[in-house]
Amino acid sequence: MLGLLCKRLSQFRWAGDSSTRPWFPQISCPKFFSNAANEHTLTVDYLVNSCGLSPESALNASKRMNLKNTAKADSVLTLFKNYGFTQQQIANIISHNPDVLKSDPDKTLKPKIELLCNMGISGPILAKILSKNADFLSASLERKLIPTLEFLKSFIDTDEKIAVTLSRMSWCSRVPETMAPNIEILRNHGVPDSNISNLIFLHPRLLYSKAERFKEIVMQAKEMGLNPSTYTFITGIRALAGLSRATWEAKIAVFSSFGWLEDEIFSLFRKYPSIFGQSEKRIRERLNFFVNELNWTVADLGRCPTAFQCSMEKRIAPRCSVLRVLLAKGLLKKERMITALQWTDDQFYDKYVLKYLEEQPQLLEIYQREMGIQESEIGSDIVSG
């Protein structure tokens, strides 16, 4: 603002003579304004040209950090490249944590990276963890990182699994303090440590919840009939954690609109709670297909959770196109149709396409069309079959 005022005053011209000209105090533009502008330009240019950030991301990052020179930043980039990070991964780290460029690469960054490397975490996995959790590089090695890894090791038995867990976490500098109260809640309600370990490994973010809210979820799962000693209980609290009361009631209403009774809906939840983590649209789409087009009953769907969980385009619709032909020709019973949706792709192809190809040659064309498979991709299988 002051720089703009200086420029405006320098351009001002008085229309009268010198005797009537007003007096203005002499204003000089401080040198530091010019230096600050230069540093900002240097920072943005460096973030774009050397670090790979987009202009917009570089501008946002420059609001949090300015470079007076690029010597240390160059060393940081070299360190990342030496560990095999791609340009995009480096850009991700810096856009989330631009202060990394001002860190000492040997004294501050390298020991933290080596901490992970010593656990067998390297290459693409190392880069993935740090590009998703850039704040890891700013946390204290002794006070935060080592205690967090020791905490995870007390539940997870291999370094490989810890690496996967870290890749699923959003970094929190107080991981033990945040997770411990919720772990204690699970233990108090009879959840075995083996299932707690699975929860930490598969869904670590769920344990970031506030203890009061987490306890409500656990109690709700028990009230709905889930057994805390089973793995299904873990699946259930994960599903409930993502549901507000309004969303839960809306999903119940979807099932009810297709004739499901409340007991049948709750029975489905107790068996396959992950189904209720899906969107209303997805649930309605599948119910409409199986109930209205295939005339499946509630009991049929209860025996086939795959009907809710698999892709409609990649599995359900292509397979049902083949199975409908077999049903119509009397070559398949409805009960086997339910089972057929649960086979792997190769198993399904062998059991329901190749097996009946001589009697029903159109099956191949139907399957290819619905799956979007080129004839050349499948021809060799036909010959060998």
Question: pLDDT digits over 33-48, tens only?
Answer: 444 555 678 889 999 9
Cα–Cα dist 261/85, whole Å: 54
Name the least confident of 23-27, 75-79, 155-159, 296-300. 23-27
How far is it, in rounded angstroms, from Cα 143 to Cα 30?
43
Kindly state the percentage of the chain with pLDDT values over 70: 86
Q: What is the pLDDT of residue 2?
A: 41
**Closest by CA position to 95, among listed 145, 129, 154, 55:** 55
pLDDT, position 49: 92
Q: Does a structural domain hold residue 147?
A: no
Between CA 143 and CA 155 the distance in angstroms is 20
Does the pLDDT of residue 24 top 90, yes or no? no
Provide the number of structural domains found in the chain: 1
* 279 has pLDDT over 80: yes
Residue 188 in any domain: the answer is no
The per-residue pLDDT for 220 is 93
Across 226-246, average pLDDT: 93
Residues 88-113: what's their mean pLDDT?
A: 92
CB atoms within 10 A of CB 232: 19
Give pLDDT, residue 237: 95
Asked if the structure places residue 360 within a domain, the reply is: yes
- The C-alpha atoms of residue 353 and residue 347 are separated, in whole angstroms, by 10
Average pLDDT, the chain: 84
- For the record, the structure tokens of 322 come out as 């083949």
| Structure confidence at residue 376 as a pLDDT band (50, 70, 90) | very low
Residue 36: closest CA among 2, 67, 73: 67
> What pLDDT, on the 0 to 100 scale, is given for residue 204?
93
Domain presence at residue 121: no
By the 8 A CB rule, do 197 and 239 touch?
no
- Flag whether 326 is in a domain: yes
* pLDDT at site 38: 57
Phi, psi angles (nearest 5°) of residue 374 = -75, 150
Asked whether the CA dihedral 324, 330, 334, 340 is positive or negative, the reply is negative
Interior angle at CA 370, CA 366 and CA 371, nearest 5: 115
Predicted TM-score (pTM) of the model is: 0.73
Quote the pLDDT of residue 213: 94
The more confident residue out of 189 and 342 is: 189
Give the C-alpha separation, 14 to 20, whole Å.
9
Asked whether residue 92 is domain-assigned, the answer is: no
Per-residue pLDDT at 91: 92
Residues in CB range of 219: below 8 A, 6 or more apart = 189
Does 186 fall in a domain? no
69 and 110 Cβ atoms separated by less than 8 Å: no
Contact 126, 113 (CB under 8 A): yes
> Of 379 and 161, which is predicted with more confidence?
161
pLDDT value for 180: 95
| Cβ-defined contacts of 295-300 (< 8 Å, 24+) | 296/338, 298/259, 298/260, 298/261, 298/264, 300/334, 300/338
Cβ atoms < 10 Å from Cβ of 199: 23
Q: Residue 184 pLDDT more than 80?
A: yes
pLDDT digits (tens, 9 = 90+) for 138-152: 889 999 999 999 999
Residue 320 structural domain: 311-385
Backbone Cα Rg of the chain: 31
Q: Is the pLDDT of residue 226 over 90?
A: yes
Q: Scanning the structure block, which residue is given the tokens 């105090």?
A: 25
